[in-house]
Each structure stands twice: as structure tokens, then as C-alpha cells.
Amino acid sequence: MKVASILRSGAFALVAACATIALWTPGSASAAAPFAKEAAPGFYRIMLGDFEITALSDGTVALPVDKLLTRTTPEQVKKTLAKSYLQSPLETSVNGYLINTGDKLVLVDTGAAGLFGPTLGRLVANLKAAGYQPEQVDEIYITHMHPDHVGGLLAGDKPAFPNATVRADKHDADFWLSQANMDKAPADSKGSFQGAMAAVNPYVAAGKFKPFDGDTDLAPGIKAKAARGHTPGHSIFIAESKGQKMVLWGDLMHVAAVQFENPSVTIQFDTDSRPAAAQRKKAYAEAAAQGYLVAGAHISFPGIGRLRSQGDGYVWVPVNYVPTR
């Protein structure tokens, strides 16, 4: 036994010595490996009571947030970003959320498809990677009709979700689908109207667009709540199952590192920044007081977590990773 032990020890020592020689012999090198440059598919799953929630990444887009945020200054934005080791342009997530209630498959927002540049448009691919097909989606709930939320309704010139009924607040539909509103809009805003019309009108023509007005029960365990300001009909959606609750915020906020610390900061994308700020403050206070889960369209993917109040602002607490079983 002693000899065997010595031999095993000697063998291990020889392997270690050979490894060291291989690492340090002059002129020896491994072949250069190309960068893969691809991450895992962009989906994240979490259970909410009996509901399965799947966060779907549409990609990210670099935004010059120091120039876009309002009720602040570019210098203050840069200073606040730096505290989180960030800078502008800021790589900004665009997220959608798939809710499987067991009876219905509901998609909240659809991403941008081709309406917002080449770094977005991945939501459908990630939905498929998550184990679902577009044809399985029963209903689509739109928080508002900006291009990065409705663009994914189309695949080319055809509906991307052929069996789905689309739901959105009628105030947003009346605003963004109006030719008269587009005609009188500034030149740099006309594209948003055109994108909304192109994405939503095929569902209107097929009888698959069903608007609602304000606070509305949409499906068992899911309801819409008016949160107007960012757009005329901006809505948030509330999912509840077995005493667990998640509120899907849409565009109540855009830049977590800045707007959690200072909820008064607004953004140029707001149709009316004053009520947008008021809705954000109300949502933050409620989320922190009740401790429920929040999902944000532009919070770093998967955009799911909770809020904790801190002084005059709030701290974002990302959800702890728990694999679904």
C-alpha cells in the first residue's frame, strides 16, 4: 500500500510538472480562438403562484440618456450614472413578458422588430427559444403604442401572432392610429405614428384588435390599470395568482440608475411629462410599501425585481435567481 501511494503521488507530481512545462515552455502557444460574441437566448422564467412568467429580451439599444432625460441636466445625469459605473450612451434593455396562466398565453408588449434599429427585434426568436411558438399566443396586451412596444406585432407585412387578439387602451389607439394626428405632428414624431399604424392596423382589419378604456379586467388574474402621461393611453398590467403579485410597468420609467434615485426626472419620449412623473411616483411608493414584484420594459434584462425606499428615492432589488422546476 505504501508503494502504491508513493507511485500515485509521483504520478500526480509528474502530471503537474508536465502541465507547468507546457505553460511556460518558450514558443509554445495555443491556437488563437475567435470570440463567440453570442450570449445564451434571452429569456428568463419565474413562477408567480400558478402563473409562469417568461421575460423575453428584444435586445438592447444605446441611448444618449444625458440628452434625453428632462427635469435634470446632462451633467447631473452623467454624475448619477457614474455612481452605478455607467455612462451615456447607455445600453438600454427592451423587454417583453409572456404570461402563461394555464388557460391562456398572454404576451405583454412585442418589442420593436425592425422599427428601432438592428440591435432590437429578437423577441420572437427568444419566445421560440423559451419553448413557445407565436401561433400559441392567445392575447397581446400593449402598454402603449411606441415603436419598441408594437413593432413586433408584424413579421414582414403579416401579423407575427396570427391567432392573437391585441388589447390596448382606446386613448392610445385613438391618438396613435389617427391620420389627422400624424398629419399635424412634428416631422420627427411622424415615424411613431407610422410605426403604430403599420403594426396595429392589420389586426384592426382582421377584427383582432379589441381596445379597452382604463382600469379593466382582461383575463382571470390579469387586469389593466390606467397610468397615462407617457402616452395618452399608457397602461400597466397587474398579474396575480395565489396571493402573489407582479405589476408590469411598461414605460413608467426608462433609466433605472437615475429615475429610482430621483423619480421626478422625466424623458423626452413622454407625451405629457407632468402626469408621467406623478404616475411613476405613485407606482414606486406602492411597490415599495407592498413589496410585490415589478417588471420594467427598460430595466436591465430580465427587468424583474422589487423596490425598497431610501431617503427621497428608491433602491432596485433584482429578483433572486431561482430555476423553475
Quick one: how far is CA 64 from the chain centroid?
Answer: 18
3-state helix, strand, coil in the chain (%, to 5): 35, 25, 40
pLDDT in tens, the chain (325 residues): 443 443 344 433 433 433 443 344 444 445 588 888 777 779 999 999 999 999 999 999 999 999 999 999 999 999 999 999 999 999 999 999 999 999 999 999 999 998 888 999 999 999 999 999 999 999 999 999 999 999 999 999 899 999 999 999 999 999 999 999 999 999 999 999 999 999 999 999 999 999 999 999 999 999 999 999 999 999 999 999 999 999 999 999 999 999 999 999 999 999 999 999 999 999 999 999 999 999 999 999 999 999 999 999 999 999 998 886 6
Q: What DSSP letter does each residue of 269-282 carry, written as one string?
A: T-SSHHHHHHHHHH
Q: What span, in angstroms and rounded, lies between the C-alpha atoms of 56 and 96?
A: 5
Tracing cell 409572456 back to the chain, one arrives at: 98
Total-model pTM: 0.89
CATH 3.30.300.30 at 43-318, yes or no:
no
Q: Where are the domains of the chain?
A: 43-318
**How far, in Å, CA of 239 to CA of 242, rounded?**
10
Q: Find all residues with CB under 8 Å of 317, minimum gap 6, and list them.
A: 305, 306, 307, 308
| Helices and strands (H and E) in the chain: how many | 10, 17
Q: Evaluate whether 70 touches 268 at the Cβ level (below 8 Å).
A: yes
